[in-house]
Amino acid sequence: MDQSNTFNLDNEINQWFGEKRTNPSFTASDREELKCHLYEIIDALIEKGLDEEEAFVVAKMRLDIDSEMEKEYNEGNKPILQMRRSLLILAGVLVYFMLYYFILSTSKILIIALQLNDVSKTVTIEWVSRYLLTWHFLIAIFFVSLYFLESKTINFIEKLKLKPKGTIALLAIAALLAIIDTCLFPIVKNMLERNIPVLSILYQNYNYFEFSFP
């Protein structure tokens, strides 16, 4: 089969740059600039009489990006990379609070739902206790998996492209969940008819959850 018929220059270039897409040392602008440079070399080589495939092979060699150069790119992009890392750390803190308030507010929604279905107060508290324990169990599994899947986790975090808008959205969601949680608490107290023994068990559950939340 004639290879020149199957060679697609754009696909080959995209494939070559795909490997660099996941490399955090390069910004999107760097990749686009390198791609333009590669096309310029290829055009010049084609003008000299090479076919597309030959020109692509030569151009790749001329635009060789070794580990030393990656380091230099990394150095040059330090301000952007540091900003990206700061955003990731901030996003991590916000996700922590989002999860915390999500669990608390959904536990209160669970109490309201059970009370609306005429479930006894003691059973309701037992369900809330189970719900909180389940979350604890899931979070523990998540942290253990982080330990065992360290390299995959690091790869995943490095591939995350978080923009300031995304971080603001996370902050808004965390704040919204905190407000919902605060607003639901008086409703829950009223539904449990201010029953002191039941409320004290509920408080104990929440206290336990707040102290032991990782």
Partner 1 sequence: MKSISKELIGASAAPLILSILRSGDSYGYEIVQRVKEQTGGKVSWNEASIYPVLKKLENSGMIKSYWKVNDTERPRKYYTLLTDGKIQLEHNKQEWELIHSVFQNLWNPA
Q: Residue from 1, 5, 6, 36 that binds partner 1 (CB under 8 A)?
A: 36
Query: Distance between alpha carbon 3 and the CA centroid of its chain, in Å?
Result: 42
CB of 65 to partner 1, least distance (A): 5
Taking the complex as a whole, the smallest distance from the CB of residue 29 to partner 1 amounts, in Å, to 7
The residue (of 2 and 19) whose beta carbon lies closer to partner 1 is 19
Distance CA 138, CA 72 (A): 42
Is residue 167 a contact partner of residue 87, using CB atoms and an 8 Å limit?
Answer: yes
Q: Does 34 bind partner 1 (CB under 8 A)?
A: yes
Stretch that binds partner 1, among 3-11, 27-35, 50-58, 160-168 (CB under 8 A): 27-35
User: Considering only residues 21, 37, 130, 152, which one is a binding residue for partner 1 as defined by CB under 8 A?
Assistant: 37
Nearer to partner 1, 37 or 161 (CB): 37
By the rule CB under 8 A, 40 interacts with partner 1: yes
Taking residues 56 to 85 in sequence order and writing x for each that binds partner 1 by CB under 8 A, - otherwise, the string is ------xxxx---x--xx-xxx-x------
Stretch that binds partner 1, among 1-9, 31-39, 117-125, 188-196 (CB under 8 A): 31-39
- Interacting residues with partner 1 (CB under 8 A): 29-30, 32-34, 36-37, 39-41, 62-65, 69, 72-73, 75-77, 79
